[in-house]
Amino acid sequence: MKKLIVFDLDGTLAESKAAIDKEISTRLSALLTVAKVAVISGGDWPQFEKQVLANLPKDASLQNLSILPTCGTKFYQYKTNWKQLYAENFTDDEKKTIISSLNKAIDESGFKATKVWGETIEDRGSQITYSGLGQQAPLEEKKKWDPEFAKRGKIKKQLDKMIPEFAVNLGGATSIDITKHGIDKAYGINKLRDVLNIPIKEMIFIGDAIFPGGNDYPAKQAGAFSIRVSDPNETKRVVEGIIGCLDDGHFGEGF
């Protein structure tokens, strides 16, 4: 029996950098009453507060929710308030190496955008993230920029050669995430196993980038039963099905 449902955020629970909508909020709240839930994403803690936590019902069972920012390199758990359990942060020298390599790979790729919205490279402490059109780019522009991951795939190949000591993964609509090796969503899945004492075989992982090179793929490699979705609307249907299977009758009429 599955006891823990783990989600990616952008592209899975919400559109890129957007808040979860009311339907996702309602379904997450319901899911929290029948199972433990976790969210793992490349975004940092403030993004989770803005996109997820601020939009959940006030009576949501937060004690059953775990938050893992920056691809699982940080872990937050709720008791009477939110507490960070760990953070795998880069050293200053590591950050300099990654950022200089990113800038070189982007220039050499020929895909450097002529118009951007905000900073394109963000230091998230335990992760460096490149956003092709900038952190504040409009969603419609982001969707058009690299829908098949071709541009970022080329940049990733360059980075894999330049900084093999780090892990490079693709995620979101325009992002490339760089972490330490072994510090990715597989790491997060294993930490969930250790902290919550739930075997991986009793987890379900849901994400939109479950493919080789995608930043959700390590969760599948870790052994979690994985479901690839195309967008938040498909996630809603998947969550409804999971609730229907785990519910003891409280949500008998469905949604």
Give residue-wise pLDDT tens across range 119-136: 999 999 988 999 999 989
In-domain check, residue 252: no
Q: Is pLDDT above 90 for 159?
A: yes
Same domain for 30 and 52: yes
Q: State the pLDDT at residue 248.
A: 78
Give residue-wise pLDDT tens across range 51-66: 999 999 999 999 999 9
Q: State the pLDDT at residue 197.
A: 97
Please spell the DSSP secondary structure of 136-192, one letter per residue: T--HHHHHHH-TTSHHHHHHHHHHHHH-TTEEEEEETTTEEEEEETT-SHHHHHHHH
Task: Using CA atoms of 71, 17, 202, 29 in order, give the dihedral in degrees to the nearest 10.
Answer: 140
Give the domain range for residue 229.
4-88+183-246
CB 61 within 8 A of CB 46: no
Q: Is pLDDT above 70 for 30?
A: yes
CB under 8 Å to 253, separation ≥6 — which residues?
Answer: none
Q: State the pLDDT at residue 250.
A: 74
In-domain check, residue 254: no
Give residue-wise pLDDT tens across range 200-235: 999 999 999 899 878 899 999 999 999 999 999 999
Residue where a domain terminates, one of 125, 152, 180:
180
Q: How confident is the model at residue 86 (pLDDT cuts 50, 70, 90)?
A: confident
Same domain for 48 and 82: yes
Same domain for 189 and 137: no
CB 139 within 8 A of CB 173: yes
